């Protein structure tokens, strides 16, 4: 038995079987339970060590050979698998409430397993192929057989696909840099090509304009899942590149590029969000700002920045899951998610509106919510090394707060004598309530996830140490 078989091949095979299941509630519960089991197993089952289960002695190997290539899951990567599958379980349990479980759960399992494979594959160049498979699988997740794909979906497919040749070319150039490390021109060329590839993958300014369009056209729950998992795993994949090459890791230009890219993403995301009149577009710009926070964390001293980067991930996963589920609850009852159509929605869908506002305030970094501890740590660390960058970070945060309070003001503007209703069904109410409670738990007791996050930097050989 080996780890890639358990955490990559098995979920992919299970996804194919789940496609034959028509019971949406069974899909949601079974998918969430299996994902939660895989998360618990990744956290607590040791790799490359023998352990006993009853009378049997079991040893799980780290690698799996397929067609001359290797999938390797190191023992230090267990907490990362726990984080990814644990967050995926949240999305699967919410799939029934969003009424999208029939294709969301099977495709979600396939996407998660392939994204993990992109981190595990050796040689690392093949990661580009796994990511491209994920992009292709994402199209049926956010489209319908009954209407043509919109511009946002087409641009998502184009931009993510354009990243692949740059990643592959950079891998070829980096091999040349390894063989002749003194060739500075080759190193500069490989860094530039690598940067272009990750600019497309992470949708660095100005390449993120497909995100707001996607949130207008696609089902919010499925689109939110993609906007969570793709940037999260890409950031880890990119950190692996930095860890692998010492000349890249020690380059002062890398810090400058990461810092300015993060600030541009955060400031533009926050400011654009403040002027939007569509709830889905505001969420998309919140995702842009989240990526900006992550890039700023990578621009710090890596012994401090890597732990902050991982601290951002749980709040991001929970916040986006709650936000997208709340938008999904509202969307069928309005012609669109524009302010003119959701005015006064607080009195008809109080739990959904509360979820939207709390999730957006968490992204903004409101105290007592999940996004506050990592943003406070990031802001404090950034202010010590670059006070001007910390000031611009504050501009982006103010923009996000402005968008949050505008949403709250619009959705609470009901007619004077209109009554209160509970438009959510019982399952939606439970899931929204649990999500909101989770944001407060992570905000008030951030140490609850520290047990899982403390060991994550050890997955890198040099970063975070």
Closest CA to 127 of 42, 214, 236, 40: 236
What number of other Cβ atoms are within 10 A of residue 254's Cβ? 17
Q: Could you tell me the two tokens for 391?
A: 């000031």
Strands (E), 13-134: 50-53, 56-59, 63-66, 69-72, 121-122
Q: Could you tell me the two tokens for 122?
A: 């050796």
Q: Where are the domains of the chain?
A: 1-122, 123-459
Place of tokens 């209109």: 418
pLDDT at 178 (0 to 100): 61
Instruction: Specify whether the CB–CB gap between 443 and 311 falls below 8 A.
Output: no
pLDDT at 65 (0 to 100): 81
Q: Could you tell me the two tokens for 200?
A: 């497309």
Q: In Å, what is the CA distance from 463 to each residue of 181, 303, 457?
A: 21, 6, 7
pLDDT tens per residue, the chain (465 residues)?
Answer: 788 888 888 888 888 888 887 788 888 888 889 999 999 988 888 777 766 666 677 777 777 887 777 888 888 888 888 899 999 998 998 888 877 767 888 999 899 999 998 888 887 778 888 888 999 988 888 887 777 788 888 999 999 898 888 888 877 777 666 666 666 677 677 778 888 888 898 888 888 889 999 998 888 998 999 999 999 999 988 888 888 777 777 778 888 889 999 999 999 999 999 999 999 999 999 999 999 999 999 888 877 888 888 899 999 999 999 999 999 988 888 878 888 888 888 888 899 999 999 999 999 999 999 999 999 999 999 999 889 999 999 999 999 999 999 999 998 887 766 777 787 788 888 899 999 999 999 999 888 887 778 778 887 776 755
20: exposed, middle or buried (C-beta count within 10 Å: 0-12, 13-18, 19+)?
exposed
pLDDT at 406 (0 to 100): 92
For the entire predicted model, the pTM comes to: 0.91
Instruction: Specify whether the CB–CB gap between 320 and 227 falls below 8 A.
Output: yes
428: exposed, middle or buried (C-beta count within 10 Å: 0-12, 13-18, 19+)?
buried
d(CA 321, CA 221): 7
What number of other Cβ atoms are within 10 A of residue 278's Cβ? 18
pLDDT at 417 (0 to 100): 66
pLDDT at 43 (0 to 100): 84
pLDDT at 465 (0 to 100): 58
Beta bridge partners of residue 70, listed in sequence order? 65, 122
pLDDT at 393 (0 to 100): 92
Counting Cα atoms < 13 Å in the Cβ hemisphere of 192 gives 6
pLDDT at 323 (0 to 100): 93
């Amino acid at each position: 038995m080996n780890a890639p078989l358990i955490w990559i091949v098995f979920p992919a095979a299970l996804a194919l079987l789940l496609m034959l299941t028509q019971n949406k509630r069974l899909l949601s519960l079974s998918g969430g339970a299996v994902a939660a089991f895989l998360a618990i197993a990744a956290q607590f089952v040791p790799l490359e060590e023998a352990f006993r289960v009853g009378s049997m002695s079991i040893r799980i190997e780290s690698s799996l050979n397929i067609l001359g290539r290797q999938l390797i899951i190191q023992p230090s990567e267990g907490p990362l698998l726990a984080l990814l599958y644990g967050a995926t379980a949240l999305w699967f349990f919410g799939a029934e409430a969003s009424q999208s479980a029939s294709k969301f759960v099977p495709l979600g399992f396939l996407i998660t397993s392939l994204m993990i494979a992109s981190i595990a594959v050796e040689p690392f160049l093949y990661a580009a192929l796994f990511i491209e498979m994920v992009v292709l699988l994402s199209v049926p997740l956010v489209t319908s057989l009954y209407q043509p794909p919109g511009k946002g979906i087409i641009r998502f497919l184009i931009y993510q696909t354009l990243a692949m040749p740059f990643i592959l070319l950079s891998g070829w150039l980096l091999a040349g840099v390894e063989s002749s490390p003194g060739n500075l021109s080759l190193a500069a060329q490989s860094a530039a090509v690598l940067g272009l590839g990750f600019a497309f993958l992470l949708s660095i300014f100005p390449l993120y304009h497909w995100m707001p369009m996607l949130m207008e056209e696609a089902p919010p729950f499925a689109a939110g899942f993609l906007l969570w998992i793709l940037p999260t795993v890409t950031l880890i994949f990119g950190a692996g590149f930095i860890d692998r090459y010492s000349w890249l890791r020690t380059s002062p230009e890398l810090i400058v590029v990461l810092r300015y890219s993060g600030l541009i993403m955060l400031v533009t995301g926050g400011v654009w969000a403040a002027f939007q009149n569509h709830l889905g577009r505001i969420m998309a710009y919140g995702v842009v700002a989240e990526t900006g926070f992550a890039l700023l964390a990578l621009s710090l001293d890596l012994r401090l920045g890597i732990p902050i980067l991982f601290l951002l991930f749980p709040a991001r996963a929970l916040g986006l899951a709650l936000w997208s589920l709340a938008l999904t609850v509202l969307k069928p009852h309005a012609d669109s998610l524009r302010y003119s159509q959701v005015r006064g929605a607080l009195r008809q869908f109080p739990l959904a509106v509360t979820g939207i506002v709390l999730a957006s305030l968490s992204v903004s970094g409101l105290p007592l919510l999940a996004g506050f501890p990592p943003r406070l740590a990031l802001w404090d660390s950034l202010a010590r090394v670059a006070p001007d960058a910390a000031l611009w970070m504050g501009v982006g945060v103010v923009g996000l707060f402005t968008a949050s309070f505008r949403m709250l003001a619009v959705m609470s503007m009901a007619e004077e004598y209109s009554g209160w209703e509970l438009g959510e069904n019982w399952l939606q109410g439970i899931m929204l309530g649990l999500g909101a409670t989770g944001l407060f738990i992570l905000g008030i007791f951030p140490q609850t996830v520290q047990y899982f996050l403390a060991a994550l930097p050890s997955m890198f050989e040099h970063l975070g140490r």
